[in-house]
Amino acid sequence: MEKKKRIVIALGGNALGNTLPEQMKAVKITSRAIVDLIQEGCEVIVAHGNGPQVGMVNNAMLALTREDPQQPNTPLSVCVAMSQAYIGYDLQNALREELLNRGITDIPVATMITQVRVDADDPAFDHPSKPIGRFMTKEQADLMTEKYDYIMKEDAGRGYRRVVASPKPQEIVEIGTIRTMVKSGDLVIACGGGGIPVTRQGNHLKGASAVIDKDFASALMAKELDADFLIILTAVEKAAINFGKPNEQWLDDISVEQANQYIKEGHFAPGSMLPKIQAAVDFASSKPGRQALITLLEKAKDGILGNTGTRIHL
């Protein structure tokens, strides 16, 4: 019997919606695309972003502290954990329903609340750059800085937002459990939002005020699970060089060497396509035969079949 292709899928925020009702609808569409891959004979592990969701949780917790002065401020690591759980809740139920609708009854679906260790000395902690939460006035931002020691930055004339560090993932704490679940045939949702950021202090794991890029965390998980494919789903069908210019060129099949050259030439926007390409290169270069694919959610099946998307390989 041919070995199943093992795939780690990194879902972008556009696959989850921006509000609770939007998410309920979005996960149904997302689940159809994931179960399509399972029916193609693939073994799938799901990771996802939490950009809008963690900001929403953080705002809700801030509102609670304003209502009740006795309530302490909620650490960002706890907000990430909350977002993992409620996204996982919707996603696992939608996946389970889609599997059952297609008569697939032997694949349990479970969400693993996942901690990801980062380096306490990561230079990202000295240069917070990842905006989260709502826009604020200068007065509101100053109050946040004074009350909670937040770092607030003005954002392109739209107001002030909190910025936090985005350190590189070093270790997936629950990887042993995730590996066991995958081996037993479970459809696992893990490393949500890049994972709950923690630093190690002896045997203690301490939550960090940071968010981890979900594409880098997904690449690490794909390597740890010895996956064949990392699929990074985004808002475009393919990556491009000279994006938005008259000489724009969509990328189909490129080597790690070519991808690194395009990165060096500055073709990919930081905070947008750049981390996706970097994560794809990280995975594809880690072992012969591993491939990364960047494409649209609804094109994931076509991408695996080699019909679309940007494929990166050694």
- Collapsing DSSP to helix, strand or coil, 246 comes out as coil
- List the beta bridge partners of residue 45: 8, 188
Task: Give the per-residue pLDDT at 59.
Answer: 87
pLDDT interval class at 222 (50, 70, 90)? very high
pLDDT over 60 (residue 141): yes
* Stretch among 93-107, 154-168, 245-259 having the lowest mean pLDDT: 154-168
How many other CB atoms sit within 10 Å of the CB of residue 120? 13
- Out of 12, 55, 58, 130, the active site residue is 130
Residue appearing with tokens 């921006």: 18
301 is catalytic: no
Q: Is 202 a catalytic residue?
A: no
14 is catalytic: yes
Predicted confidence (pLDDT) per residue in 263-279, tens digit: 999 999 988 899 999 99
The pLDDT of 161-178, averaged and rounded, is 96
- Looking at the DSSP bridge assignments, the partners of residue 206 are 199
The amino acid at 293: L
What is the C-alpha R_g of the chain? 20
From the list 12, 13, 303, 309, the catalytic residue is: 13
Query: Given a cut of 60, is residue 2 above it in pLDDT?
Result: no
Q: How many degrees, rounded to 5, is the angle at CA 18 between CA 14 and CA 22?
A: 90
> What are residue 109's phi and psi, to 5 degrees?
-120, 130
Q: Which residue out of 12, 214, 303, 309 is catalytically annotated?
A: 214
Is residue 238 part of the annotated active site? The answer reads no
Pair of tokens at residue 239: 């990556």
**End-to-end distance of the chain based on CA atoms, in angstroms?**
27
- Identify the residue whose tokens are 């009854």: 105
147 is catalytic: no
Distance of alpha carbon 295 from alpha carbon 308, whole angstroms: 8
